Every structure is written in C-alpha cells, then in structure tokens.
Structure 1
Amino acid sequence: MRFRSAAAAIGMLIISNGHLGAADLFKADEPPTPPPQEERGIWAAIAYSTPDEKHGFFWGADKRQEAMDIARNYCKRNGGSACVVVSVFRNHRHWDDEDNTGFPYEHCGALAVGKEAGKRITPWSAKSAPTRREAEDLAMKACEISGIQCKIREWVCT
C-alpha cells in the first residue's frame, strides 16, 4: 500500500493497530531534548606547544570551536609539535546580550612565556580578562610564580 504523505501512513498505523507503535517516537511526558544553546559572541583562542615554545592565535570567529581549531592550526603551522588550546575567550556582539551558558565575556587574552628559553621546561601562562592590561598582568603573574622572569609573547583582543 502506498501513501501520499507520512501523516496518511501514521493515520493508517493508528487505525489498523489502535495505537501509534513505531511512530510514537516521543511520549508526552518526555519531550525531545532541545539542541544546545548557541554560544553568542566573537570568539578568540590561543594555542601553545610546550616542547618547542611555539604558539598560534585567532580572533574573530563566530563559533568557539572554530577559534580553537584555527589557533591550533596556526600553532602547528608555526612549527609546534604538541599544540593545545590554552585560552579561549569571547567578546559581546552587543553589550546587552547574555546567553546564560556560564562562559564569561572576556575580551582579551595574553600568553606569557619565561625569558630563559632553552631550559628543560620553560614556564608559561595564558589568561583572559576584560582588558588587554588585565590579561597581560594575570598571565605574567601566573608565569612568574616559577621564579623565572617572563615576557608577553602574544596578546589578542576580540
């Protein structure tokens, strides 16, 4: 038997079986799970490769994953052998939007790396904050906890 629409086929299932059967995908008390909420903003990311002290960054992405992927790719292109995303942050598209995802709007990020390159493990830190100065200060303080003087290797603001 051929039906001209899915509704006609479901109608025949109900008539012939007296219940929905396979067409009953969701019960009334179990609504379908909504898709994840879109994360709004202008995204940026910094990637770093500890063994060879290479980095990559990207800003201006519409999606968090896009910023992360591009930053990691830039790090690899720059010769990084073990690139990982070390900071992700975003800016408002509009000053009053809030998407309730719990991911803060921190407009700037900075990467600080120890000045004494070539050590067994060179200290580094990546931090984000609402301003460039705050991001740089946080990254420097975290990096210099090791006792080695650090410098800002990269900063980016969305």
Structure 2
Amino acid sequence: MRFRSSIAAIGMLLASTGHPSAADLSTEAEVPVPPPERGIWAAIAYSTPDEKHGFFWGADKRQEAMDIALKHCERDGGSKCVVVSVFRNHRHWDDDDNTGFPYYHCGVLAIGKQENNRITPWSANSAPTRQEAEDLALKACGRSGSQCKVREWVCT
C-alpha cells in the first residue's frame, strides 16, 4: 500500500508543477508517417561465388521487390545472394513521391568471363531504358578487361 500511495503522491506533485503526469503518457504521440512508396518496384539479386541471380518486378513496395529477388536467387542455388539493383517505374505519370529515388524503368545484370581463378566480373545498373541500362552495366563490367554479356534484364 505504501508503494501505491507514493506513486499517487508523485502523480499529484507532477500535476501541480505543470509537468506531464503518468496519465499524459498514455496519449498517443504523433509519429511521422513516411510518404507512400509510389510506382512499380523491381530488384535484381546476385550471388558472386556461384554466379546465381534472381529478380522480381511488379511489386508495390521496394522491400517486397528486394525480398522476392533474394528468394529467387537463393532458390536458384545462390549461397551469398545480395540485392544489387533496385528500380521502379511510374504507375501513373503524376505519382512522384518526392523522395528523390529515380524512376528508372529497367535494370540489367552483366557478367564477364572468369579468368585465372579470380572472381567473375559483374555489374548491375538501372536506367530509364533497357538500352541505357545495358550500356551502363556492360561498360562497368568491362572495366575489368573481361568480355561481358547481359545475363538478365528486367523492365517494369
């Protein structure tokens, strides 16, 4: 009983001093709500050690596209799958969500030839068009000196 009366006394003291009381703590604080993710999301996942990949397009959320691309990569036998490209397309032309995340409609995974037991060169890029994404991925992959080819492309 002594404990309860002490809590009541502290509550009255706080109320008389203008400080919030325990009852005030139960009110919901305004938590900022993130803006909705707009667009149609896609992702490409890749596992470097075994050159396995997975992709997904058509998701409503970024995380959904990433999760499913990873699952597809792992299902294909990828031992160390990571998401290497995330991109999106407009669902409606006026759906910019002001996050600064670009609306790149296409993503490409380019893979080179393995040489001298080194890690196989690769690159993943996204761009507004398939051709631009292919050019970027092939150029970045080719910096290793390897002859690279498009392994997968996805456009939303």
| 2:102 corresponds to | 104
| 1:73 corresponds to | 71
Measure how far apart 1:96 and its partner are: 1.7
Which secondary structure does the structure 1 equivalent of 2:57 belong to? strand
Measure how far apart 1:24 and its partner are: 2.3
Which of the numbers 43, 46, 49 marks the counterpart of 1:45?
A: 43
Name structure 1 gaps, 5 residues minimum.
Answer: 1-12
The 8 Å contact of residues 116 and 149 in structure 1, kept in 2 or not, is answered as no
Write out per-residue CA displacement over residues 79-135 of structure 1, whole angstroms, 9 at most, x where no aligned residue.
100000000000111112210111111000000000347832000000000000000
* Structure-1 separation of matches of 2:23 and 2:40: 41
Which secondary structure does the structure 2 equivalent of 1:135 belong to? helix
The 8 Å contact of residues 89 and 107 in structure 1, kept in 2 or not, is answered as yes
* Structure-1 separation of matches of 2:141 and 2:153: 15
Which secondary structure does the structure 2 equivalent of 1:70 belong to? helix
| 1:23 corresponds to | 23
Which of the numbers 119, 122, 130 marks the counterpart of 2:120?
A: 122
TM-score (norm 2): 0.83
* Structure-1 separation of matches of 2:79 and 2:86: 20
Name structure 2 gaps, 5 residues minimum.
Answer: 1-10
* Structure-2 separation of matches of 1:144 and 1:94: 36
* Structure-2 separation of matches of 1:25 and 1:37: 27
| 1:143 corresponds to | 141
| CA 1:118–1:75: 2 relative to 1, 3 Å | farther
Tell me which amino acid in the other structure corresponds to 1:114: G
* Structure-1 separation of matches of 2:102 and 2:22: 43
RMSD, aligned CA: 2.3
Tell me which amino acid in the other structure corresponds to 2:138: M
Identity of aligned residues (%): 74
TM-score (norm 1): 0.82
